[in-house]
Amino acid sequence: MANHRESRDIARSPEWLFDIVADVERYPEFLPLISAAKIVKRHENAYETEQSLALGLMTHRFCSRTELDRPRSITVVSGDRSFRHFEIRWSFSPLAEGHCHVDFTLDCEARSLFLIPVIQVLIMPMATSMVSAFEARAHALAVAAGCTETPQEN
C-alpha cells in the first residue's frame, strides 16, 4: 500500500497548474519513470490514458481514467488489473495575486507481486517529488513563454 499527501502554495494561477497537470501526454518530458503516456479516448470532462512506467530494462503499461473539473480538481483512477486500488487527486485553490494552493494525494495498492517492490522503491520516491516536478514544469513553461512575473490569469 502506498499513500502520500502533499500541500503547497505555488506562484501560478489554478488554471495554469491545472492545464499542466491535465496535459498527461507531456509527462514523459519531465516526470521520471513515465516513458510514455497517450490519451486513447476523450470524453467531455474526462479522458482515458495508457501510460508506461520505465522500470530499468522493463516497462509496465497500465490504463487510467482522468476526471477533470477545471480549474478546481483532477482525479486519476485505474481499474487496471495490476492494482487493487489506484487513485491520484489534485486540487487547486486560488490564492491572492495569481498564486494557488495545491493539494496532491496518491493512494495505491498493487495486486501484482512484481509491482509491490516497484511501488515501494520507485513510485513512492516519485510521489514525494511529484508536486515539485509540476512546479518546476510550470516555471519552465512560464520562462519559455516570456512570463517572468506571476500570471494573474492564463
| Pairing outcome for strands 83-94 and 34-43 | unpaired
- Please name each of the domains of the chain with its CATH number: 2-144 (3.30.530.20)
Q: What pLDDT tens digit does each residue of the chain (154 aa) get?
A: 778 899 999 999 999 999 999 999 999 999 988 999 999 999 999 999 999 988 777 788 999 999 999 999 999 999 988 888 999 999 999 999 999 999 999 998 888 776 677 666 666 677 778 899 999 999 999 889 887 654 444 3
- pTM (two decimals): 0.87
Which residue type sits at 39?
A: I
Backbone angles phi, psi at 80, to 5 degrees: -55, 140
